[in-house]
Amino acid sequence: MSDCHYCAQIHAADPGYPVRPAEFDLASDCPRCSHHWRYVCGQCGRASHFHASFFCPGAEQVVCHRCAQKRTEVLADFWGWAYYFAYRCPLCGDQHPGLDYAEFTGQHPYQQDPGWEAVHLYLWPEPLLPRLALSPPEVAPPDQLTDQDVGASWDAKADLWDEGYDEEGDPNRKYQSDEVLFRLLGEVAGKQVLDAGSGQGYLCRILARRGATVVGVENSTRFYQLALDYQAEEPLDITFHHGSISHMPYLPRASFDAIVSNYVLMDVRDYEGAVQEFARLLKPGGVAVVVISHPCFQTPGSGWLRVPADSLRREERARWMVDSYFSRGMWRIHWGPFDTAFIGFHRTLSDYYRTFQASGLFVTDLEEPSVTARGEAELPPHRVRHLKRIPYSVVFRLERRGQDL
Per-residue pLDDT of 116-150, as tens digits, reads: 999 999 999 999 998 766 666 678 888 888 999 99
Residues 95 and 157 in one domain: no
Residue 126 in domain = no
Residues 206 and 334 in one domain: yes
Q: pLDDT class for 314, splitting at 50, 70, 90?
A: very high
Percent of the chain with pLDDT over 70: 98
Q: pLDDT class for 300, splitting at 50, 70, 90?
A: confident
pLDDT at 401: 83
Average pLDDT over residues 263-268: 97
Residues 234 and 267 in one domain: yes
Residues 230 and 334 in one domain: yes
| Mean pLDDT, the chain, whole residue set | 94
pLDDT at 136: 64
Residues 165 and 88 in one domain: no
Residue 346 in domain = yes
Average pLDDT over residues 105-125: 94
Which tens digit of pLDDT belongs to each residue from 346-405?
999 999 999 999 999 999 999 999 999 999 999 999 999 999 999 999 999 999 987 655
120 CB-near residues (< 8 Å, 6+ apart): 34
Residue 129 in domain = no
pLDDT at 296: 94
We report the CATH number of the domain holding residue 210 as 3.40.50.150
Residues 102 and 245 in one domain: no
Average pLDDT over residues 320-334: 91
pLDDT at 25: 96
Average pLDDT over residues 286-293: 98
**Does residue 320 register a pLDDT over 60?**
yes
* Residue 53 structural domain: 5-118
Q: pLDDT class for 281, splitting at 50, 70, 90?
A: very high
pLDDT at 133: 61
Domain count, the chain: 2
Residues 213 and 286 in one domain: yes
Residues 79 and 219 in one domain: no
Looking at 85, 118, 151, the residue that finishes a domain is 118
pLDDT at 340: 85
Residues 82 and 185 in one domain: no
Average pLDDT over residues 87-95: 96
Residue 128 in domain = no
Residue 231 in domain = yes
pLDDT at 339: 80
Q: pLDDT class for 1, splitting at 50, 70, 90?
A: confident
pLDDT at 337: 78
Residues 168 and 97 in one domain: no
**Rounded CA separation 121/109 (Å):** 9
pLDDT at 134: 61
Residue 341 in domain = yes
Residues 74 and 146 in one domain: no
Looking at 86, 118, 150, the residue that finishes a domain is 118
358 CB-near residues (< 8 Å, 6+ apart): none
